Amino acid sequence: MSFCSLLSLSKVACKKLKKQHTVPKLLETVLKTGNIMNVGTSRGDAQSFKLDTFLKLSNVKGTDGKTTLLHFVVREIIRSEGVRTLRLQRSSKSFSSVKTDDSNTDISPQSVERYRSRGLQVVSGLTTELEDVKRAAIIDTDGLASRQPKRLTYER
């Protein structure tokens, strides 16, 4: 693969990431979860985190010894995406505004299942939507640097 095609792939990946609303939701959920876990400490009001934090999510176990923080984060995103899509659907029918606060959601067993089902549809679609991002992430930066032409020209 040529340097220009690798660069082009990276450009496409960045554009897709910018359009995705689930990726920022993932980052927000991880940050909020970390802040809740660290409340009362100097690290409990963080504004950011290192990306290697994602690698640690599966190492933090719940009291049952099986459930990890990664399970919790994924479940929370599935739930919130389900709530969001159902609210968007309702608002398009009733022309009312969409609330972003999830605190007033119906928590009956039927609603929870509906949120989960809708959220799973959204999250499961991420694999295909972010295929270019996965390919770009696999690019070896050392290999990319070795293919770099001596003189770069900017094309639009």
The C-alpha R_g of the chain, in whole angstroms, comes to 20
Residue 123 has, within 13 A of its CA and on its CB side, a CA count of 21
Contact criterion met (CB below 8 Å) for 150 and 21: no
Decide: helix, strand or coil at residue 44. Answer: coil
* The model's pTM: 0.64
Instruction: Between 93 and 45, name the one with better pLDDT.
Output: 45
pLDDT band, residue 36 (cuts 50/70/90): very high
Tokens of 152: 């770069």
Q: How far is CA 76 from the centre of its chain?
A: 11
* Domain-wise residue ranges, the chain: 3-90+113-134
Residue 147's pLDDT is 63
* Mean pLDDT score across all residues of the chain: 79
Position with higher pLDDT, 52 vs 6: 52
pLDDT score of 14: 84
Q: What is the pLDDT of residues 74-123, one digit of tens each?
A: 899 898 888 888 888 888 765 444 444 444 556 677 777 888 888 888 88
User: 3-90+113-134: what CATH class?
Assistant: mainly alpha
- Residue 154 CA to residue 110 CA, distance in Å, equals 54
Give CA–CA dist 12/130, Å, rounded. Answer: 10
